[in-house]
Amino acid sequence: MAATITPKNPELFAQIEKSFHSHRENSIVNGNIIEIRPQVVVVDIGAKSEGVIAVSEFEDEEFAVGDQIEVLLEKLENDEGMVVLSKEKAAHKQNWDKIVKVYEDGGLVKGKVKSVVKGGLMVNVGVEAFLPGSQIDIIPPKDLNEYVGNVYEFKIVKVNDIRKNIVLSRREVIEAERAEQRAEFLDSVKIGDQVEGLVKNITDFGAFIDLQGMDGLLHITDMSWGRINHPSEMLVIGQPIEVVILDVDKEKERVSLGYKQLQSNPWEAIESKFPIGHEVAGRITKLVPYGAFVEIEQGVEGLIHVSELSWTKRITRPSDVLTLEQEVKAVVLAINTDEQKISLGVRQLEPNPWDEVETRYPIGTTIKGEIRNLTPYGAFVELEDGIDGMIHVSDLSWTRKINHPSEILKKGEEVEAAVLEIDKTNQRISLGVKQLENDPWSEIDGRFKVGDLVKGTVAKIASFGAFIQLEDDIDGLVHISQLSEDHVAKVKDVIKVGDDVEARVIKVDKVERRIGLSIKAAEYNEEQLKKETQAFDALRPSSDLVGLEQAFNLASEEWRPGGEEEAAEDED
């Protein structure tokens, strides 16, 4: 028969046994600190044995032997016969229930940012919670580390009871506060009020100013009375600024702001400060293809158009003669107060050399100048600095057909010419070289007569004949029918450029400026010559015998001084 042990104090034994059985695992119980060791704290919860809790679970809390604390009973007995306790898990269990209640009620919770993790921050709100980067602030933060250690209010946006995950948002708290501030601001503000704000954002068209939760737009046109290229020239993000309310739209929650309106308008009485014709000084602020902007006073700019830079020089780009920040002088040409525009001119600082050009270069006088440029239609001659005259290609010779001025002129050489015409409005002077001599065609009938035997050199060949250069650069035409007694199919079969020939004059036309020649009639008697002249006159001017100038245009090959080219024109 087994022996029965009777306790000395049955009441105490019953109390301990009752306490032991009342402690359920995963429940929160009270315990007393009975000993503090270097790594653990020994706690008595009234069970068969004591439990230990790691010192790290107490964090920065102060504790001492005899303190009563709440702990989570994880196990009544482990492999070593010890009670397994956790102070941290007890707090977590208690706080989790509070967090769930706050989440269900839509309230806010305070927490301290513990660390930076991937995608956001870890926050201690009694339990660990995750704050995504997108929910930290209205403006995306640049450095998450600046939040570590700070305490904020958060809204709980998600709770996962199974995984024990909590997601927070600080952004929603800020937005709610700002919405309340916006409502208060819109109810109290009115047009004309001056308010303080901070530059929140800068764009190409202006800047957004934070007005205690309300964003107002300061447009670039309302920043300065002068012209600015970009708002960043005046403002930086975070800068405090005083502005004036220009417009309020309560329904759309929009506020328009002004900064320049706090300063006096420099365009008021602008005409009295800068009268037309008045000389001003200023600084070049911008160069554009059509001109240069000059600041002549704070907030006041004028435009020097490219055409107003010089009387004589053709300037295509202002940047060729001006630079940014350069100090310049100019003359006020016009003012438009409505559009706030001032037209300026630089060339007006000096006399216009074209005003007296007719006095310096009277029509009919002979000038000397250097050939500055050659073009297909003429040669430009420099008369003085900035003033050129032009010799048209048709005014180079009375007798020769010049296709390009380079045939007789060279760039850089000095030439004499007569002043033919002056156009001050368009700033043009027409010159002529041939006008320095008498027109030989005016006396042509005295120099060449029908029947005269003349000598010359083949200058050009065309399908219809050959041009013979006679004395004094006068050309005569030998029609293909006048080359030989025999039938001629191609001019080049009988004659070539550079050949010296002897021919008989069979036609002199002073009006049409042409001389008809005949090589085959060189040995004709008077009667034969008369018949040939009649035959020559019978040719149709429009086709068989064209005018000299037109004939030269049709000639496919030409003779140039010093050239040894042979004519090669097929008659097709």
Residue 98 within any structural domain of the chain? no
Query: Model confidence at 380, in pLDDT bands (50, 70, 90)?
Result: very high
Beta strands in 449-569 (DSSP E): 453-462, 465-469, 475-479, 500-509, 514-518, 557-558
| Same-domain status, 404 and 451 | no
| Residues 315 and 387 both lie in one domain | no
Q: Are residues 466 and 553 in the same domain?
A: yes
Task: Kindly give the residue spans of alpha helices, DSSP state H, lying in 315-376.
Answer: 357-360
Which is more confidently placed, 57 or 519? 519
- Which pLDDT does position 343 carry in this prediction? 93
Q: Using the 3D structure, point to which of 347, 376, 401 is the last residue of a domain.
A: 347
- DSSP letter assigned to residue 235: -
Which residue in 359, 348, 404 sits closest to 384, CA to CA? 359
* Residue at 268 is within a domain: no
Q: What is the pLDDT of residues 23-38, one digit of tens each?
A: 677 777 888 888 888 8
pLDDT at position 21 over 60: no
268-272, 484-488, 565-569: range with lowest mean pLDDT: 565-569
Q: pLDDT, tens digit, for every residue of 101-141?
A: 888 888 888 889 999 999 999 998 878 899 998 998 887 88
pLDDT digits (tens, 9 = 90+) for 133-154: 899 888 788 888 999 999 999 9
Q: Does residue 370 sit in the same domain as residue 453? A: no
Distances (CA, A) of 568 to 236, 500, 553, 561: 78, 17, 16, 18
Question: Is residue 465's pLDDT more than 50?
Answer: yes
Residue 18 CA to residue 24 CA, distance in Å, equals: 12
Return the CATH number at 427.
2.40.50.140
If asked whether residues 462 and 549 sit together in one domain, one would say: yes
Same domain, residue pair 117 and 197: no
DSSP single-letter state for residue 537: H
Distances (CA, A) of 336 to 243, 285, 292, 306: 28, 20, 17, 19
Do 447 and 551 lie in one domain? The reply is yes
pLDDT value at residue 538: 66
Q: What is the pLDDT of residue 81?
A: 72
Q: Which residue has the higher pLDDT, 139 or 535?
A: 139
Q: Which two tokens stand for residue 270?
A: 């602008």
**Tokens 């977590």, residue located:** 92
Q: What is the pLDDT of residue 472?
A: 72
Mean per-residue pLDDT, 241-251: 87
Residue 560 CA to its chain's centroid (Å) = 52
Query: Is 5's pLDDT higher than 80?
Result: no
Residues 326, 328, 332: CA angle, nearest 5 degrees: 140
| Final residue belonging to a domain, choices 347, 366, 396 | 347
What is the rounded average pLDDT of the residues 381-397?
87
- Mean pLDDT for 208-222 is 87
d(CA 479, CA 336): 70
Residue 566 in domain? no
End-to-end CA distance of the chain: 152
* Of the residues 321, 347, 373, the one at which a domain ends: 347
Report whether 386 contacts 311 (CB < 8 A). Answer: yes
Q: 357 and 336 share a domain?
A: no
532 within a domain of the structure (yes/no): yes
Residue 337 and residue 401 in one domain: no
81 vs 160, residue with greater confidence: 160
Lowest-confidence region among 72-81, 187-196, 271-280, 559-568: 559-568
Domain that holds residue 316: 273-347
Strands 240-249 and 387-392, by their bridges, are unpaired
What whole-number distance in Å separates Cα of residue 219 and Cα of residue 238?
17
- Amino acid 14: pLDDT: 47
Decide if 23 contacts 47 (C-beta within 8 A).
yes
Domain count, the chain: 6
